[in-house]
Structure 1
């Protein structure tokens, strides 16, 4: 469960920092070194156009795109179901939005497609012929990008939400047909004055089993 993001604009030249980050992230591990990720880093007018088109779709009530992959199992079992529910309660509770206020929840969720105000975004694709091990490689790549961004003083927020508008992103980026948009990632500067809430995590005992000879 990611932290509720509060990303804000800042001075943003064509970032040498991003070039350093992505050059280093290319060394993320992948099975047999096939490196299945395809990243598009977008700033300036192209990102503004993606945000604009996404906003227009939201305003018009245009339905989400046909999914190219399933984000969650149809029947999410325990304890994952409870964790997902708790995330929603904490996320919207921190914003002062009650469970029954669906309209306010939708407005809050719409911030995803403005990249939470961030001045940069990364859109990560994977070849549609890849299988689950390669998707896990992409996860390691994205985690590596995020850690390296922190080392550069930047913050980020990965967003599967962008996969719901993959056609809109594709209209601007024109990726090859064989690629599937896995997620976007907002990249910017932390809004340090924002009233933010850290989402809880499962305990160590729930997540880790230590097996030793003692």
Structure 2
């Protein structure tokens, strides 16, 4: 089951179960597009643009949906029995579903995975195409095809194959902690700030102050010896 994270300008989140590409979902993803445009993550002003330029402040990325209307129009229409414009819409919605959940590079990779599959379908049958694709590419496609409203045997076969693939293993990585002296210094900064903060600043930063005092390692100062 695909789940969409819906966020807003107040930066709280709701999660919606997705059963298909319906009007409500499209509207929510259009609104989410506008939100990420305001946050300067997406440079385009319109959801309807067929090429999106995005940035994560370190790198710039491009999602080019126009290839579905040019390079892959025949494959989409004949093999998958989906209107190319509808495929473009599904890809845009799927991309927006991933915003706030995955890195931009991952979102771009999921579209590339679809293009890789469509490339193979130009010259191969669906069974051969899927057999020659890597697991990482197949994992990137796992949640996309349920969005398509099609009774195409190709799409149904793809869904059956993807459903049978075990989930991608999660890397067993633990985050590295900063040296303890950094925590102590931050604690000193927090204490000094709070002692001199104005009322408005206290109200604004109270959640941070509360979180720090509930979760931090408290330093025990050594008593002075006389």
The TM-score, its normalising length taken from structure 1, stands at 0.27
Structure 1 or 2: more helix by fraction: 2
Name the structure, 1 or 2, with higher relative contact order (CA <8 Å, separation 6+).
1
Structure 1 or 2: more strand by fraction: 1
The TM-score, its normalising length taken from structure 2, stands at 0.25
Whichever of the two has the greater Rg, that structure is 2
